[in-house]
């Protein structure tokens, strides 16, 4: 009687977590272990008997290991359909034992791409795995005969299934799908990184045509699920949180340290993103005497934002903008939370607080109230550093919209005064602050500020004049002498009429309407100074 060859397990992993234990379990189940390079060395050091890939192929590794597993002696067993008599017979005639289990994970391309200082292209290209993805894809394609494992977290459960002989067709499909997700994510990381290097947007380019030509021909998105959320925007919707492969630990919203209260919800993350975006936009050296920024957001729109000499001053000014809307809001500050600020938060119903750090004892004060979440987002010098978002993607039915990152693009040296009355230096400083806030408010948007603090915000209106009315109503008496920012031009003079009646003394807007002169004339008749920036700031 002919003795059947022992089934083989092929192990070739970059992440060697748990691989010795997995291989030990496979050997006990009767598998011959086939391995490559560093994986083979680690297994041999653990006392396991390992057949080298070169011994299987009869060919040495070449070009510093660039070619080692791309050989029929490896891929024949991986792709052999044992249920087909012709395939099984052919494999036997070739003398290749079947490979039933494969454990492969790939070179860490994303980590290499994020290395500082940045790797040269030639060094980065060496981190592109060739044989690994080929083995993974071949095994997944033939999952009815080959069990493919890419995630070390699956080793124990796979061993348990093999020991109890309970590898079902469904389980094989589940692992095959994970394998294809693994290679798809890997290829996406490569294509996105090389696109950013080789056809990336030119530095400081304002030429829309030039930018358009440099948008990628194919939009690839890759992200890994970190955990499920309680529900989506509404309780009947399922939701989960995903992390981008290049997200740095503790430096992004998704990788922030979350403490206290209930788990972050879908809406919490959505609102926190808007809050963080504005706080970062205000955390610049443009206002050196007021380094503390505080932003309060509700339902994706700022209801208060301010800069202050102290953190408490910035918070009190931001809260005063719209204390009613601040109920159940998300707050972000750009410096470590102080004890006095923590105490000032006590009366407020607060969903989430974000900061780069906390003074000793501040967390305990904040968490005296139940269900508050604290997010720590570390950044250089305890400041909230700029988020690098080269493109913005928005799903629509049947596809995606993609655009380059939003402003700041305004060159204030090119902004022009269009009225008889010129704004003062203080008003120009307020205009710059108001525009930064206006960038992050849903359109149509109007922002009223006093100094470096909002006093009234009119967000997301279908009518610009109505946005002015809402901002004015929220500002009340604080609108007297305010600076008003609009995210787009005023199509009629009625917006300026409403602004003047509320008490605005200066206006900053893009300009560009066919009725600009009527708007300018109205501003002149009201003694309002007005600046045109030439840049619309829609946010939909």
For residue 373, the domain's CATH number is 3.40.140.20
Q: Are residues 176 and 287 in the same domain?
A: no
Question: Using 50, 70 and 90 to split pLDDT, how confident is the model at 415?
Answer: very high
3-state secondary structure of 149: strand
108 & 186 share domain: yes
Same domain, 357 and 278: yes
Tell me whether strands 99-105 and 391-396 are parallel, antiparallel or unpaired: unpaired
CATH of residue 39's domain is 3.40.50.1380
Indicate the residue among 143, 167, 195 that finishes a domain.
Answer: 195
DSSP-assigned letter for residue 337: B
Band of pLDDT at residue 533, cut at 50, 70 and 90: very high
Provide the pLDDT for residue 165.
87
Say whether pLDDT at 187 is over 80.
Answer: yes
pLDDT at 231 over 70: yes
433 lies in the same domain as 363: no
What is the pLDDT, as a whole number, of residue 391? Answer: 63
Angle of helix 516-526 relative to helix 494-502, nearest 10 degrees? 20
CA distance 78 to 319: 64
Band the pLDDT of 383: cuts 50, 70, 90.
low
Distance (Å, whole) CA 6 – CA 8: 6
494 and 370 within one domain: no
Task: With respect to residue 205, please indicate whether it lies within any of the assigned structural domains.
Answer: no
Per-residue pLDDT of 115-144, as tens digits, reads: 888 889 888 898 888 888 999 999 999 999
Q: How confident is the model at residue 203 (pLDDT cuts 50, 70, 90)?
A: low
Residue 243's beta-bridge partner residues?
224
Is residue 267 located within the same domain as residue 316? yes
Q: Is the domain of 469 the same as that of 374?
A: no
Pair 48, 9: CB distance under 8 Å: no
Residue 496 has pLDDT above 50, yes or no: yes
pLDDT for the residue numbered 72: 87
| DSSP assignment letter at 62 | B
Answer with the one of 141, 164, 195 that is the final residue of a domain: 195
If residue 453 lies in a helix (H) or strand (E), which one and from where to where?
strand 453-458
H/E stretch holding 282: helix 266-282
Please tell me the predicted confidence (pLDDT) of residue 1: 38
**224 or 289: which carries more pLDDT confidence?**
289
Residue 165 within a domain:
yes
Note the pLDDT of residue 409: 66
Same domain assignment for residues 470 and 372: no
- The proportion of the chain whose per-residue pLDDT surpasses 90, expressed as a percent, equals 62
**Is the Cα torsion angle 244, 249, 251, 254 positive or negative in sign?**
positive
At residue 388, does pLDDT exceed 70?
no
Residues in a beta bridge with 331:
296, 353
Rounded to whole angstroms, how far apart are CA atoms 535 and 512? 9
Residues 104 and 60 in one domain: yes
Residue 321: pLDDT over 50: yes
Burial (CB < 10 A; 0-12, 13-18, 19+), residue 482, is buried
Gap between the Cα atoms of 116 and 86, Å rounded: 53
What's the pLDDT at 494? 95
Higher pLDDT, 142 or 56: 142
| Span 77-106, average pLDDT | 89
Tell me if 537 is assigned to some domain.
no
Q: Measuring CA to CA, which residue among 405, 454, 425, 432 is closest to residue 284?
A: 432
Instruction: Give dist(CA 487, CA 77) in Å, integer.
Output: 63
CB neighbour list of residue 381: distance below 8 Å, 6 or more residues apart? none
Q: For residue 432, give Cα distances in angstroms to 152, 281, 331, 453, 539.
A: 51, 11, 22, 11, 18
What pLDDT does 456 receive? 97
Q: pLDDT by residue (tens digit) across 417-455?
A: 999 999 999 999 999 999 999 999 999 999 999 999 999
Q: Structurally, how many domains does the chain consist of?
A: 3
Let me know if residue 390 belongs to a domain: no
Regarding pTM above 0.85, the answer is: no
* Average pLDDT, integer, range 463-487: 96
420 and 320 in a common domain = no
Q: Which of 464, 406, 466, 465 is nearest to 440 (CA)?
A: 406
Q: What share of the chain is helix, strand, coil (3-state, %, to 5)?
A: 40, 20, 45
Q: What is the pLDDT of residue 7?
A: 87
pLDDT digits (tens, 9 = 90+) for 279-315: 998 998 889 999 999 999 999 999 999 999 999 999 9
Q: Are strands 292-298 and 350-355 parallel, antiparallel or unpaired?
A: unpaired
452: containing domain: 416-532
Catalytic residues: 141, 299
- What confidence tier does 532 reach under pLDDT thresholds 50, 70, 90? very high
396 lies in some domain: no
Q: Do 290 and 436 belong to one domain? A: no
Q: Is the bond preceding residue 444 a cis peptide, omega within 30 degrees?
A: yes
Judged on CB neighbours under 10 Å (0-12, 13-18, 19+), 207 is exposed
Q: Per the domain annotation, does 247 fall within a domain?
A: no
In a domain? residue 225? no
Rounded average pLDDT over 175-188: 93
Determine which of 14-18, 206-210, 345-349 has the lowest per-residue pLDDT on average.
Answer: 206-210
CA dihedral 198, 200, 202, 207 (to 10 degrees): 120
Q: What would you measure as the largest C-alpha separation in the chain, in angstroms?
A: 107
Pairing of strands 416-417, 529-532: antiparallel
Residue 4 has φ and ψ, to the nearest 5°, of: -75, 140
CB atoms within 10 A of CB 70: 14
User: Does residue 31 sit in the same domain as residue 166?
Assistant: yes
Would you state the pLDDT for residue 389?
Answer: 56
What is the pLDDT, as a whole number, of residue 202? 54
Q: Concatenate the DSSP letters of all residues of 372-417 into one string.
A: -EEEE---GGGS-PPP--SEEEEEETTEEEEEE-------TTT-EE
What is the structure's pLDDT at 529? 97
Give 118's contacts (C-beta < 8 A, 6+ positions apart).
none
**Rg of the chain over all Cα atoms, to the nearest angstrom:** 30
Q: Decide if 207 is inside a domain.
A: no
Boundary of a domain, candidates 382, 397, 425:
382
pLDDT at 91: 84
């Amino acid at each position: 009687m002919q003795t059947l060859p022992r089934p083989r397990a092929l192990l070739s992993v970059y992440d060697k977590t748990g691989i010795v234990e997995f291989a030990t379990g496979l050997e006990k189940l009767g598998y011959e272990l086939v391995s490559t390079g560093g994986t083979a060395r680690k297994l041999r050091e653990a006392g396991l008997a390992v057949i080298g890939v070169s011994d299987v192929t009869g060919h040495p590794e070449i070009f510093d290991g660039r070619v080692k597993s791309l050989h029929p002696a490896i891929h024949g067993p991986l792709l052999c359909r044992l249920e087909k008599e012709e395939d099984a017979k052919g494999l036997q005639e070739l003398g290749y034992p079947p490979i039933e289990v494969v454990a492969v994970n790939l070179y860490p391309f994303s980590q290499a791409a994020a290395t500082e200082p940045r790797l040269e292209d030639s060094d980065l290209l060496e981190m592109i795995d060739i044989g690994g993805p080929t083995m993974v894809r071949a095994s997944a394609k033939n999952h009815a005969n080959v069990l493919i494992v890419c995630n070390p977290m699956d080793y124990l459960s796979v061993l348990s299934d093999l020991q109890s002989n309970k590898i079902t067709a469904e389980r094989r499909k589940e692992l095959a799908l994970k394998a294809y997700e693994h290679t798809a994510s890997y290829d996406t990381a490569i294509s996105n990184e090389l696109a950013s290097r080789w056809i990336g947007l030119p530095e400081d380019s304002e030429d829309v045509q030039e930018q358009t030509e440099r948008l990628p021909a194919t939009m690839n998105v890759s992200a890994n699920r970190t955990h499920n959320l309680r529900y989506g925007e509404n309780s009947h919707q399922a939701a989960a949180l995903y992390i981008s492969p290049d997200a740095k630990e503790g430096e992004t919203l998704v990788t922030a340290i979350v403490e206290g209260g209930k788990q972050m919800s879908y809406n919490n993350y959505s609102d926190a993103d808007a809050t963080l975006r504005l706080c970062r936009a205000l955390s610049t050296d443009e206002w050196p005497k007021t380094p503390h920024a505080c932003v309060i957001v509700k339902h994706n729109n700022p209801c208060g934002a301010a800069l202050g000499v102290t953190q408490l001053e910035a918070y009190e000014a931001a809260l005063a903008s719209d204390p009613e809307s601040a109920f159940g809001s998300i707050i972000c500050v750009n410096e470590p939370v102080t004890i006095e600020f923590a105490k000032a938060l006590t009366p407020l119903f607060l969903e989430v607080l974000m900061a780069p750090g906390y003074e000793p004892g501040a967390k305990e004060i904040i968490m005296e109230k139940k269900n508050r979440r604290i997010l720590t987002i570390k950044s250089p010098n305890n400041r909230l550093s700029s988020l690098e978002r080269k493109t913005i993607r928005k799903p629509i039915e049947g596809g995606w919209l993609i655009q380059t990152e939003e402003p700041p693009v305004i060159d204030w040296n090119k902004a022009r005064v269009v009225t008889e009355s010129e704004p003062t230096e203080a008003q120009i400083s307020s205009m710059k602050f108001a525009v930064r806030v206006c960038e992050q408010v849903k359109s149509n948007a109007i922002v009223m500020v006093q100094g470096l603090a909002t006093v009234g915000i009119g967000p997301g209106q279908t009518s610009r004049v109505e946005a002015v009315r809402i901002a004015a109503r929220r500002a009340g008496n604080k609108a007297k002498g305010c600076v008003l920012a609009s995210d787009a031009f005023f199509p009629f003079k009625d917006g300026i009429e409403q602004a003047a009646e509320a008490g605005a003394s200066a206006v900053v807007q893009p300009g560009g309407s066919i009725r600009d002169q009527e708007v300018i004339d109205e501003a002149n008749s009201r003694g309002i100074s007005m600046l045109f920036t030439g840049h619309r700031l829609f946010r939909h």
